[in-house]
Amino acid sequence: MGAIFRAVHTVKGMSATMGFTAVASLSHELETLLDGVRRGVRAIDERLMDLLFRSADVLESAIESAVAGRDDVDVAPLVALLRAESSEASEPAAASGKSSKSSKPAKAAKTAKRTRSTKQAAASADRTPTEPARDSATWTAQMPDAPGMPVRVRLVEGTPLKGVRAFLVVQAAKAIGDVTACSPSPEEMQADAFDHDFALRLRTDRDADDVEAVLRRAGDVMEVAVGETPVAAPKSDPVNAALPAPISADGGNDATSTPLNANGASATGGVRAQRSVRIDLRRLDSLMNLIGELVITRGRLAQLSATINDAALTEAVAQTSRLVADLQDEIMTSRMVPVWQVFDRFPRLVRDAARSVGKQVEFVIEGKEVELDRSMLDEVGDPIVHLLRNAVDHGIETPDTRRAQGKPPEGRLTLSATRDRSAVAIRVSDDGRGIDRARVLSRARSAALVDSDKTDLTDEELLRLIARPGFSTAETVTDLSGRGVGIDAVYNRVRSLGGAVDIRTVQGEGTTVTLRLPLTLAIVRSLLARIGDETYAVPLTHVRETVELEPSVVRSVQGREVLMLREEVLPVVRMRELVRHPGTALQELEQVIVVEMAERRAALVVDALIGQQEIVVKQFDGVRDGLGVFGGATILGDGAPALIFDVSSLL
């Protein structure tokens, strides 16, 4: 609460200084209300949170309007609401503690003390610098010797950009008079080379109260003293004092032999050196494209060196390959960002969605520290929004319904991210009603999407149905869902990213939707396989193992080939038939690639295995009536293209 109050206080001071009236008035009333909450006068409840969220939205709009030079945001209604809320909070507090007999003398004494201080400050304006001070407060800045009213200002401890804040205070003083001198100098203020107080001389026809009020409105001002005040002894530099003085050539201490910069760090080898630098994301994209082309060239060099069979060349190519791999890892790591950068915007979305449909939702985020490629993270935000809104609208029941079912009235919605091999799994889980399979099946029958005699749906069939464009079981269309585009949008977007969607649901217990995404879209390690004279790539993320296809382990179940592997039954997918390649296998013993995704596995039969290779993924648009089993293409070391299998479409 203290941090929020401080932020609003800073906005108020800045906007008042810059003349943004709407922002200043709204932030002032918001600050007053937050101050009551901070002091315990106003309790935090649902109504207050709604008002604070609304105030934050309007404040953001008002700031954007002011920056653009417009004044088209009407804050008056919200200002009135905030003022009424603040007055309601202050009335009970005034009736409780301040009505006691003992509080009246204290209040009178406080008023008298403030009156005396004001009179003393006004009278001290005519005193000379040598006249003894009446105030016991101490200041560090020296009062400049110049004509005008002496004014001292103390900023709030820990003020960010205190030099800028001091400059704004001086500008506010110039608006009501003539600032004849300032200590420290403007240059020292800009460099933040001062403590939290400064002094100035002001020639003005305003009285002390007016001067104090004007300067306080600049923001982050803790105290204003008009008149002469005692000055403390100069403080030692805590940074310089903490550093040992360097030893000179004659064995003595030489305090000037090692210069320090503005941060107190050594100019030759600072103790507080900058550890990060901002880089435009487009530069990282360009680096990723370049390293991708370098990986392709590395594969070409490796093939050429193998044909030449020169030991020195082979060693040089191997060293180059290691360096390229290290460079690739560094570039990919520099693009990785934690998922909280997207996840942190969802609590507000869930809260607003739950409020709009009258539901109570406990929203939990797990695995915020898991990292994902920046380009991938930007793309995954919209699918998560669809899933969260669907869970709130379709999944979680109303409080009354949940009570009748023996559940707590507040539903639980969980968004989590975990590492799964070289991929990231993002899950959206709820403990709601689950998907009604019978209802989905009935709607699918009426739309002729399934056979009329089908009586049950597996999780995979269920996903394929609800992911169809326009398919929805909602009776009415709401602001959140019901138009049949949510799961469809999620499914298509994730598939386009080279990922997969998995759904698990139990009626009456809840639903879990899992998005499995590769860490990056650019470079993946793959297993190359040959079918006839064509080469295909299977991402190693989904490869469990490879075995030779023995005819004795192939069985037939319900007219379909299956592979018996260590007492596990795997469906057989013959890639030659899938890609419609003519002819028969080139060798007697075919090879099997066992692929898996989540709990599903399959046996992919190919002619031969070539080996593992890092490939650069190139996205492409599918041709009309083409196969939907490819997730991209790549260029091999010999310059030939190869298609990349989308394993999620095979399982």
Q: Are 170 and 224 in contact (CB under 8 A)?
A: no
Q: Determine the 3-state secondary structure of 148 from DSSP.
A: coil
Whether 643 and 633 have beta carbons less than 8 Å apart is answered as yes
Phi and psi, residue 462, nearest 5°: -60, -45
Helix/strand/coil for 205 = coil
For residue 177, how many other CB atoms are within 10 A of its CB? 18
| 573 touches 651 (CB < 8 A) | no
> Exactly one of 85, 386, 390, 394 is catalytic; which is it?
390
Residue 345, both tokens: 């915007």
Q: Which of 528, 533, 472 is nearest to 645 (CA)?
A: 528
Residue 537 and residue 644 in contact, taking contact as beta carbons nearer than 8 Å? yes
Q: Which of 28, 29, 31, 212 is catalytic?
A: 31
What are the Cα distances from residue 532, in Å, to 545, 586, 624?
Answer: 22, 7, 24
Return d(Cα 612, Cα 306) in angstroms, integer.
16
Q: Reply yes or no on whether 188 is catalytic.
A: no
| Of the candidates 51, 110, 40, 39, the residue with the CA atom closest to the CA atom of residue 80 | 51
Tokens of 104: 């009246």
DSSP H or E run through 55: helix 46-67
> In the annotation, is 31 catalytic?
yes
- Identify the H or E element spanning 528: strand 523-531
Give the span between the Cα atoms of 337 and 330, in whole angstroms.
Answer: 13
Contact 303, 535 (CB under 8 A): no
Strands (E), 283-398: 336-338, 361-366, 371-373
Question: How many CB atoms lie under 10 A from the CB of residue 149?
Answer: 23
CA distance linking residue 501 with residue 467, whole number of Å: 10
Classified as helix, coil or strand, 419 is: strand
Alpha-carbon distances of 594 from 465, 543, 554, 582, 605, rounded to whole Å? 27, 6, 14, 24, 9
Who contacts 353 (Cβ-Cβ below 8 Å, separation ≥6)? 361, 388, 389, 392, 393, 480
Look at phi and psi of residue 136 and say left if phi exceeds 0, alpha if psi is from -120 to 50, else beta: alpha
Compute the distance between CA of residue 300 and CA of residue 318 in angstroms, rounded to an integer.
Answer: 12
Identify the residue whose tokens are 């040959």.
530
Q: Which of 9, 196, 386, 394 is catalytic?
A: 9
Name the token pair of 488. 């469809």
Give CA separation, 194 vs 168, 184, 197, 270, 455, in Å: 15, 7, 7, 21, 79
Which secondary structure element, helix H or strand E, spans residue 400, and what is its range?
A: helix 399-404
Tell me, what DSSP letter sits at residue 552? G
Half-sphere exposure of 555 (CA within 13 A, CB side): 12
Cα angle 486-488-490, degrees, rounded to a multiple of 5: 70
Whether 261 is a known active-site residue: answer no
Look up residue 639 and give its two tokens: 């310059």
543-548 β-sheet, strand order: 543-548, 591-597, 600-606, 568-574, 560-565, 554-557
Tokens encoding 534:
């064509």
Enumerate the active-site residues: 9, 31, 390
